[in-house]
Amino acid sequence: MIEVKGVRKSFGDLEVLKGIDLVVEKGEVISVIGASGSGKSTMLYCVNALESIDSGHIIVDGVDVHSRDTNVNRLRTNIGMVFQQWNSFPHLTTLENVALAPRIVLGKSKQEALEIARKQLEHVGLVDKLDVYPSRMSGGQQQRLAIARALAMEPNYMLFDEVTSALDPELVGEVLDTLRLLSDEGMSMIVVTHEIGFARDVSDRVAYFHEGKIEELGPPSQVLDNPESQQTRKFLANVR
Amino acid sequence: MTMEVAVLAMLLGVLLGLALAMVRMSGNRSVTWFAVGWIELARNTPALLQLFFFGFGLGAFGLHLSPFMIVLCGLSFNNAGYLAETFRGGFNAVPPTQLKAARSLGMTLGQSYIRIVIPQVLRVVYHPMTNQMVWSVLMSSLAMLVGYRELAGETQFLASKTYRIFEFFLVAAVIYYLMVKLILVGSRLLSWRLFRY
Amino acid sequence: MGSSSVFTGFQFSDLGFLAEAAGRTLLISALAISIGTFLGCIFGWILSVTRVVGDATLGVVLDVFRSVPLIIQLILFYNFFPIIGFDLNPFAAGTVVLVFYTSALVAAVVRGGISATPSATRRAARSLGMTYWQDLRYIVWPIGLRAVLPSWAGVALGVLKDSALVSVLGYVELLRASQILITRTQEPFLILIIVGAFYFALSFPISRLTARLERTWQYD
Ligand SMILES: Nc1ncnc2c1ncn2[C@@H]1O[C@H](COP(=O)(O)OP(=O)(O)OP(=O)(O)O)[C@@H](O)[C@H]1O
Ligand SMILES: [Mg+2]
């Protein structure tokens, strides 16, 4: 379970998160929508301790993420993250990209790590690209590589930050299909996305972010189809 | 030997250059001015003048270095100044998101640098570093003006005895030319092995 | 008859001597850079047009200038003329060598600049009915100039500093002058600082300016 409780966060004078409360149950898929600059990415970074917080708590499987004596490296292996800009490591082949962290972070043997990597690449449909360098792959393939790389750590949670918004339209589908597959397998995920249709399909709940706050939170049928808030309605009208 | 001075000066230059680049990027004001001063002096004055500083200049304070040390210090000073800027450019060329991605997989800061950031920096700085190595070899010829008998010095020494200056320097020129080509070819071969992506 | 009669301290008039020498440094650098750049542009253009043939002939020759220490080039050239029974003064010999040295460096830069214009862009220009020369003048030149100017400035500053090597031929430019003064006054530190400051004052602003230009050009 991920519990986000009253989290506040500022960059200098700019308060980006103004008290966020959100609980992600085991196996739950939560989509996060909202305008650019509303703090969606920042919240994900805070959950993964890639950014600090000013007040509040984030607790993942009972571990306080921002407590002084939490081992953030161990914690991060439990939370996979995929970014908007595919961050494949350009100097490693596809297989090496995925096998590296299991070996040096989880301490698996080289053989085990390669085995895990192969399995995860098969999972996302990249078995035919094992020895290819990322520069030879399309954006969609690189993004699936990033997903496999995160999955190789066998995390309990996955965070996705607008993973399709830098892709060419014809490549969006293959990545969304991969996400759909994960959700069918019962992975707990927070998915920041602009794909409203996709959010409706896969999410258990949808959170609408507005200026650093969760304006509305509920099942897709409510938030996306019958929003209570004026703001949500305005946003959705613009997106469509 | 020319190669010995040039290679040693290059190694020292790499270490010092890395340190200077780190200091400069650290943004710590009290030490940044030192790094910037070094870098700009090395890049904006003649290399020969820098050698004179380590020769006559330090001599004025009663610090008399051996000719070998003068050349080594001078060339290292010069190499470090140029390489510091090369390294700074290299680190800036690796997107900060690479570090974030590595950290998000649970790698420590050290692991992230060693496995992810530095290999990518190396690729960016590899070509400029090769060029600097060539410069280092070419500059080592200045040693003849400081009295140290490396390749060029040796030939001048010989030439002054036999008065066949032209021939001797012609041989020196050929040897320098071959050394430079050797470095370039070696560097090309190594880069094929190192950078397959 | 102590050493004081031979070695006199640094005097005000010595500044004049240094200034005169600095003038010579500027003169020989300016000659080398202007003529060398002119030749370098022509060589670079020839290389880009002739490709493999050019690389195997002119390219190899120019490469020698970049692969042999300048100081050895100077000594070789200076000593070559007495052999064929012809005396060349240090200034002439230094200038000629620096000119070719500069042109070799500039040629490499120019060649890179010409290839900086993608062939698609050039084809587009030709498709609009531009002649080869119009394409060169209105398309390749402005694009290449931006790509090339920072590296060219680097070459020019390099030549300014490398001109110090002409001192080995006995030409009294700035560095040679400083050596003479050091021998007489025995105040190396002061003199080296004055001379260093001169080179720095010339080189630093230009390198800063080109770095700034390079940055602004990247963003538009
Ligand atoms: N490291 C930082 N330093 C300063 N300000 C930042 C930093 N990171 C984010 N911000 C600011 O915080 C605000 C929220 O950013 P965030 O990236 O969380 O928005 P977002 O909802 O993810 O938007 P988008 O849809 O564009 O990704 C923005 O105004 C951004 O400029
Ligand atoms: Mg974002």
**B114 in contact with C, Cβ within 8 Å:** no
Ligand 1 and A33: CB distance under 6 A? no
CA B194 / ligand 1 centre spacing (Å): 37
Ligand 1 and A210: CB distance under 6 A? no
Sheet order of strands, A79-82 included = A79-82, A157-161, A188-192, A29-34, A205-210, A213-218
CA C192 / ligand 1 centre spacing (Å): 53
Sign, Cα dihedral of A5, A6, A11, A16 = positive
> Of the residues A42, A51, A164, which should be mutated to test ligand 1's pocket, given the most ligand atoms within 8 Å of the CB?
A42
The answer, yes or no, to whether residue B159 has pLDDT greater than 80, is no
Answer whether residue C135 is part of any domain.
yes
> Of the residues A13, A16, A44, A196, which should be mutated to test ligand 1's pocket, given the most ligand atoms within 8 Å of the CB?
A16
Res C140: pLDDT: 78
CATH code for position C167: 1.10.3720.10
Answer whether residue C8 is part of any domain.
no
CA A190 / ligand 1 centre spacing (Å): 17
Task: Return d(Cα B152, Cα C209) in angstroms, integer.
Answer: 36
CB contact under 8 A, B111 and A50: no
Give chain C as a 3 state SS string: CCHHHCCCCCCHHHHHHHHHHHHHHHHHHHHHHHHHHHHHHHHHHHHHHHCHHHHHHHHHHHHHHHHCCHHHHHHHHHHHHHHCCCCCCHHHHHHHHHHHHHHHHHHHHHHHHHCCCCHHHHHHHHHCCCCHHHHHHHHHHHHHHHHHHHHHHHHHHHHHHHHHHHHHHCCCCHHHHHHHHHHHHCCHHHHHHHHHHHHHHHHHHHHHHHHHHHHHHHCC
Res A128: pLDDT: 92
Q: Which residues sit with Cβ closer than 5 angstroms to ligand 2, an ion?
A: A 41
Give the domain range for residue C156: 17-176+186-210
Closest Cβ–Cβ partner in B106, B116, B196 for A89 = B116
Task: Return d(Cα A67, Cα C30) in angstroms, integer.
Answer: 65
What ipTM is given for this predicted complex?
0.84
Answer whether residue C7 is part of any domain.
no
Ligand 1 and A193: CB distance under 6 A? no
Give B138-164 as a 3 state SS string: HHHHHHHHCCCCCHHHHHHHHHHHHCC
Is A90 exposed, middle or buried, given 0-12, 13-18 or 19+ CB atoms closer than 10 A? middle
Answer whether residue C77 is part of any domain.
yes
CA B89 / ligand 1 centre spacing (Å): 26
B78-108 per-position pLDDT tens digit: 999 999 999 999 999 999 899 999 999 999 9
Q: Taking Cα atoms as reference points, which of C178, C173, C202, C148 lies closest to residue C95?
A: C173
C30 — phi, psi (to 5°)?
A: -60, -45
pLDDT along chain C (220 residues), means of 10: 53 83 91 95 90 85 92 87 78 92 94 79 77 80 82 92 87 86 84 91 89 74
Residue that is written with structure tokens 């800027």 in the block: B85
Q: Taking Cα atoms as reference points, which of C104, C109, C91 lies closest to residue C29?
A: C91
DSSP letter at A16 equals: E
Q: Could you tell me the residue ranges of all domains in chain B?
A: 2-142
Q: Which two tokens stand for residue B32?
A: 């940044």
Determine contact, residues C70/C163, Cβ cutoff 8 Å.
Answer: no
Q: Which residues contact A236 (CB under 8 A, 6 or more apart)?
A: A196, A224, A227
> From the CA of A208, which ligand is nearest?
1
Answer whether residue C220 is part of any domain.
no
Q: Please tell me the pTM assigned to this model.
A: 0.81
Ligand 1 and A88: CB distance under 6 A? no
Give A27-73 as a 3 state SS string: CCEEEEEECCCCCHHHHHHHHCCCCCCCEEEEEECCEECCCCCCCHH
What residues does A14 pair with on adjacent strands? A11
CB contact under 8 A, B108 and A73: yes
Residues of A in contact with B96 (CB under 8 A): none
Q: How many distinct structural domains can be found in chain C?
A: 1
Res A193: pLDDT: 92
Residues of C in contact with B60 (CB under 8 A): 187-189
Res B154: pLDDT: 55
What residues does A208 pair with on adjacent strands? A33, A216
CA distances from A29 to A178, A213, A219, C141 (A): 14, 19, 11, 57
Res A15: pLDDT: 93
CB contact under 8 A, A153 and B197: no
Residues of B in contact with C169 (CB under 8 A): none
Chain A interface disruption, residue of B94, B98, B100, B105, most A CBs within 10 A: B105
Determine contact, residues C133/C66, Cβ cutoff 8 Å.
Answer: no
Are B and A neighbours with ≥3 CB pairs closer than 8 A? yes
Under CATH, which architecture does the B2-142 domain have? Orthogonal Bundle (1.10)
Residue that is written with structure tokens 């102590």 in the block: C2
Task: Return d(Cα C88, Cα C80) in angstroms, integer.
Answer: 9
Task: Return d(Cα A99, Cα A102) in angstroms, integer.
Answer: 6
Closest Cβ–Cβ partner in B44, B46, B61 for C204 = B44
| Among chain B residues, CA nearest to A148 | B105
Burial C20-38 (b: 16+ CB within 10 A, else e): ebbebbbebbebbbebbbe
B118-157 per-position pLDDT tens digit: 999 999 999 999 999 999 999 998 887 776 544 555 555 5
The residue whose CA is least distant from atom 31 of ligand 1 is A37
Instruction: Walk along chain A (240 residues) and give the pLDDT tens digit of each residue.
Output: 999 999 999 999 999 999 999 999 999 999 999 999 999 999 999 999 999 999 999 999 999 999 888 888 889 999 999 998 878 999 999 999 999 999 999 999 999 999 999 999 998 999 999 999 999 999 899 999 999 999 999 999 999 999 888 888 888 888 899 999 999 998 999 999 988 988 998 899 999 999 999 999 999 999 999 888 888 999 988 876
The three-class DSSP label of residue A133 is coil
